[in-house]
């Protein structure tokens, strides 16, 4: 008996405003009102300015390692735009633009990279989880957050961001598998930027697309031009509809490119060709959107100049707030560990200045708990 084909599949790739400025009027019809397109362009510009100022802060020793977002603004921004404000955003660390759009004050991101946990103390109403440093682990949190939304019968979803490298991690598989099999309203937004530090995507995946990985989980999966904000908004809106109405997850591969180094501690010239970078400069999502607006007479150099000035002011003000934030007492590292501080941790807190490792028992006044008396 001849073998039968039991499964065939294909992956669609969506592009609306391409790198040459061609706009697909049918796909893009009624997608984003003009006034919003302008706002989205402004948001990208502020984010690009944020990168520049953050880079300078790092280079001048005023901030630690920082990962630039340059070139990838459209993917997270379009996603945040397409979702509701009470949908969870579960980022990794290259989604500044989308997080700012949601309302995250810019100084939070600066504080994080300045080594201050208050950068992760994100107001609950923003529904944003803090930057995730390990790769791919946050995908499971998104699945859990989405699960909670479903359990409570809330009209909400969770959207998590990650890179091409994360699709090699075990947690990627487990999260996709949980979301598909337990019917969870999750959007998996993969920013395929071509590089996981120095390792190209082909070492993470030998299939022609990352998107097809989602098919193996029985999940709707699609690719889009991640540098095309219209395409991102289009596919995320459809994924959000699917999550809300069907409690089904979607995997989106947004094809983009990291124009900068991995972080300020990296030098991408060591591993990738300048010609490749130049090619992607032509596909820059910000330039693309500015050209689109200019061509449609919605933008001009006067507006651009005013925007650049405003963006600089905004970012500088955020940097000032981040740098001038009052220091917290060292005791906070102890107090933040548990809802109720255990006796031993309390002893270490109260004696850290007076003993080698909180072992001295004398002079514990701040401690209301029964302490072990001095014996020697």
Partner 1 sequence: MANLTLVQAINLALIQEMERDDRIILLGEDIGRNGGVFRVTEGLYKRFGAERVVDTPLAESGIVGTSIGLAMAGLRPVPEIQFEGFLAPAFDQICTHAARMRSRTRGALTVPLTLRVPVGGGIHAPELHSDSPEAFFAHQPGIKVVMPASPYDAKGLLISAIRDPDPVIFFEPKRLYRAFREEVPEDEYTIPLGKARVVTEGDELTIISWGAPVVQCMNAIESSGKSIELIDLRTIDPLDTQTIVNSARKTGRVVIVHEAPKNCGLGAEIASRIMEHCFLYLEAPIQRVTGFDTTMPYYKMELEYLPEAERIGKAIEEVAAY
The answer to whether 271 is a known catalytic residue is: yes
- Let me know: does 129 contact 89? Beta carbons within 8 Å: yes
**CA 263 to each of CA 77, 119, 259: distance values in angstroms, whole numbers, following the listed order:** 20, 18, 11
Among 114, 146, 166, 319, binds partner 1 (CB under 8 A): 146
Instruction: Tell me the torsion sign for CA atoms 283, 285, 288, 290.
Output: negative
Candidates 95-103, 198-206, 291-299, 339-347; binding stretch for partner 1 (CB under 8 A): 339-347
Residue 117 lies near partner 1 (rule: CB under 8 A): yes
State yes or no: residue 354 binds partner 1 (CB under 8 A). no
Measured N-to-C along each axis, helices 34-59 and 285-295 cross at an angle, to the nearest 10 degrees, of 140
Tell me the window of 241-249, 280-288, 289-297, 336-344 that interacts with partner 1 (CB under 8 A): 336-344
Catalytic residue list contains 141: no
C-alpha distances out from residue 164 to 94, 193, 318, Å: 12, 7, 31
CA distance 65 to 375: 46
Give φ, ψ of 130 to 5 degrees: -70, 160
Candidates 155, 267, 295, 343; binder of partner 1 (CB under 8 A) is 343
CB atoms within 10 A of CB 201: 20
Task: State CA 156 to chain mean position distance.
Answer: 18
326 near partner 1 (CB under 8 A): no
The binder of partner 1 chosen from 61, 329, 368, 370 (CB under 8 A): 370
Q: Choose the catalytic residue: 156, 213, 258, 349.
A: 258
Q: Is 262 a catalytic residue?
A: yes
Taking Cα atoms as reference points, which of 166, 190, 186, 161 lies closest to residue 239?
A: 186
Question: Of residues 52, 130, 197, 212, which one binds partner 1 by CB under 8 A?
Answer: 130
Q: Which stretch binds partner 1 (CB under 8 A): 135-143, 196-204, 252-260, 296-304?
A: 135-143
Work out which of 85, 181, 198, 316 binds partner 1, going by CB under 8 A.
181
CB 127, CB 85: distance < 8 Å: yes
Q: From CA 286, how far away is CA 48, in angstroms rounded?
A: 9
Alpha-carbon span 310 to 302, nearest angstrom: 12
Q: Tell me: does residue 103 bind partner 1 (CB under 8 A).
A: no
Taking the least distance from each CB to partner 1, the nearer of 144 and 260 is 144
Pairing of strands 195-196, 199-200: antiparallel
Which residue of 93, 100, 101, 147 would you call a contact of partner 1, by CB under 8 A? Answer: 147
- Shortest approach of partner 1 to residue 151 CB, angstroms? 6
Nearer to partner 1, 134 or 363 (CB): 134
Catalytic residue among 112, 213, 262, 349: 262
- By annotation, the residues acting in catalysis are 258, 262, 271
Residues that bind partner 1 (CB under 8 A): 88, 117-118, 120-124, 129-130, 134, 137, 139-149, 151, 158, 170-171, 173-175, 177-178, 181-182, 332-333, 336-339, 342-345, 359, 370, 372, 375-376
């Amino acid at each position: 008996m001849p073998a039968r084909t039991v499964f065939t599949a294909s992956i669609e790739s969506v592009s609306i405003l391409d790198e040459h400025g061609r706009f697909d009027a049918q796909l893009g019809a009624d997608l984003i009102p003009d006034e919003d397109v302008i706002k989205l362009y402004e948001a990208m510009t502020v984010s690009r300015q944020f990168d520049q100022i953050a880079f300078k802060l790092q280079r001048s020793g005023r901030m630690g390692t920082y990962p630039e977002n340059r070139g990838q603004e459209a993917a997270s921004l379009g996603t945040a735009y397409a979702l509701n404000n009470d949908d969870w955003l579960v980022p990794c660390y290259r989604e500044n633009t989308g997080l700012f759009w949601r309302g995250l004050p810019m100084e939070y991101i600066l504080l994080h990279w300045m080594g201050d946990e208050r950068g992760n103390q994100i107001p609950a109403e923003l529904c944003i989880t803090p930057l995730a440093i390990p790769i791919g682990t946050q995908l499971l949190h998104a699945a859990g957050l989405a699960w909670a939304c479903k359990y409570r019968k809330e009209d909400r979803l969770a959207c998590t961001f990650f890179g091409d490298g994360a699709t090699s991690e075990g947690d990627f598989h487990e999260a996709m598998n949980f979301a598909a099999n337990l019917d969870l309203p999750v959007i998996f937004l993969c920013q395929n930027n071509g590089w996981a530090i120095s390792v190209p995507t082909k070492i993470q995946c030998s299939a022609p697309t990352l998107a097809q990985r989602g098919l193996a989980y029985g999940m709707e999966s699609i690719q889009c031009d991640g540098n095309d904000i219209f395409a991102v908004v289009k596919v995320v809106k459809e994924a959000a509809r699917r999550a809300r109405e069907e409690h089904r997850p979607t995997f989106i591969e947004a094809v983009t490119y990291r124009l900068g180094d991995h972080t300020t501690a990296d030098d991408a010239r060591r591993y990738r060709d300048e010609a490749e970078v130049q090619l992607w400069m032509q596909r820059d999502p910000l330039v693309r959107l500015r050209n689109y607006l200019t061509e449609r007479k919605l933008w001009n150099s006067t507006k651009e100049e005013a925007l650049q000035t405003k963006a600089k002011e905004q970012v500088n003000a955020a940097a000032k707030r981040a740098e001038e934030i009052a220091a917290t007492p060292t005791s906070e590292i102890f107090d933040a560990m548990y809802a109720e501080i255990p006796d031993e941790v309390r002893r270490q807190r109260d004696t850290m200045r007076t003993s080698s490792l909180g072992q001295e028992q004398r002079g514990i006044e701040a401690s209301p708990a029964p302490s072990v008396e001095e014996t020697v």
